[in-house]
């Protein structure tokens, strides 16, 4: 009786160890898949403007009173990154250092425009707190409506010819950085990237046939 109990306990522990090993293996595999499916382009939930089409020309005035034009060919032949944010958005604040780095280091040069709406005094305090004076900052509800910005932070990448190359929610540093990679690879969103990858994998699967 005792021997049977001991054997059953041993088998139970072996089963527990085996299950732990399976869980660890699955966790590792999920990590591998996550690395392989790198986000390219921001997450798009809705599209008012289509990637690959010209964006509307919009004449704006920055919070400092300087004229700013979005759309059409840029004088310096540079792309424009519109970054929609809010002083009350925690994720926006987290991404601001990356936005500043992109504005300084991106090659070829990239014009970064910060966009929002609301009380100018609140935004001026926000600009001072986060040292954003070097970037054009516009308050325009029209701009947000044009790009159908429903959630923040949101970004749109426009090339030097005024063509929309990528857009969508940018909830992480990877989303923001991969938005730029999206233009280089000709991909508009995470969904499109995953769909392309899935289609390519399906094309490589051999189909059965008669010998």
DSSP string, 99-111: HHHHHHH-SS-EE
Residue 192, helix vs strand vs coil: helix
* Terminal Cα-to-Cα distance of the chain (whole angstroms): 60
Kindly state the tokens that stand for 47.
């599209």
Asked if pLDDT for residue 175 goes beyond 80, the answer is yes
The pLDDT of residue 46 is above 90: no
Residue entry with tokens 């759309």:
71
User: What pLDDT shows up at residue 187?
Assistant: 63
Instruction: Give yes or no for residue 59 having a pLDDT over 80.
Output: yes
Average pLDDT over residues 125-134: 96
CB 37 within 8 A of CB 54: no
b/e 110-141 (16+ beta carbons within 10 angstroms → b): bbbbbbbbeeeeebeebbeebebeebbbbbbe
Q: Work out the pLDDT band at 31, boundaries 50, 70, 90.
A: very low
SS3 state of residue 167 = strand
pLDDT digits (tens, 9 = 90+) for 9-29: 667 777 777 776 666 666 555
Angle, CA 75 vertex, CA 70 and CA 77 arms, to 5°? 95
- Other CB atoms within a 10 A radius of the CB of residue 143 amount to 21
How far, in Å, are 53, 83, 95, 119, 146 from residue 173 at the CA level?
Answer: 26, 13, 6, 27, 25
Query: pLDDT tens digit string along 191-204?
Result: 566 666 666 666 66
**Structural domain boundaries of the chain?**
58-192
Domain 58-192, CATH: 3.40.30.10
């Amino acid at each position: 009786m005792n021997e049977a109990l001991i054997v059953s306990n041993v088998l139970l522990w072996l089963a527990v160890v085996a299950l732990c090993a399976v869980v660890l293996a699955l966790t590792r595999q999920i990590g591998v898949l996550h690395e392989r499916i790198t986000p390219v382009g921001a997450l798009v939930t809705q599209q008012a403007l289509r990637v690959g089409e010209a964006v509307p020309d919009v004449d704006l005035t920055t919070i400092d009173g300087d004229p700013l034009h979005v759309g059409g060919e840029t004088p310096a032949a540079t792309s424009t990154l519109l970054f929609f944010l809010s002083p009350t958005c925690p994720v926006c604040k987290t991404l601001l250092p990356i936005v500043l780095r992109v504005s300084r280091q991106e090659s070829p040069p990239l014009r970064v425009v910060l966009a929002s709406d609301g009380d100018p005094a609140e935004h001026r305090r926000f600009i001072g707190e986060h040292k954003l004076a070097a970037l054009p900052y516009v308050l325009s509800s029209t701009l947000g409506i044009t790009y159908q910005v429903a959630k923040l932070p949101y970004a749109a990448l426009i090339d030097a010819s005024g063509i929309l190359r990528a857009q969508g929610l940018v909830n992480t540093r990877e989303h923001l950085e991969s938005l730029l990679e999206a233009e280089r690879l000709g991909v508009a969103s995470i969904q499109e990237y995953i769909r392309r990858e899935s289609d390519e994998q399906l094309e490589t699967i051999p189909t059965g046939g008669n010998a």
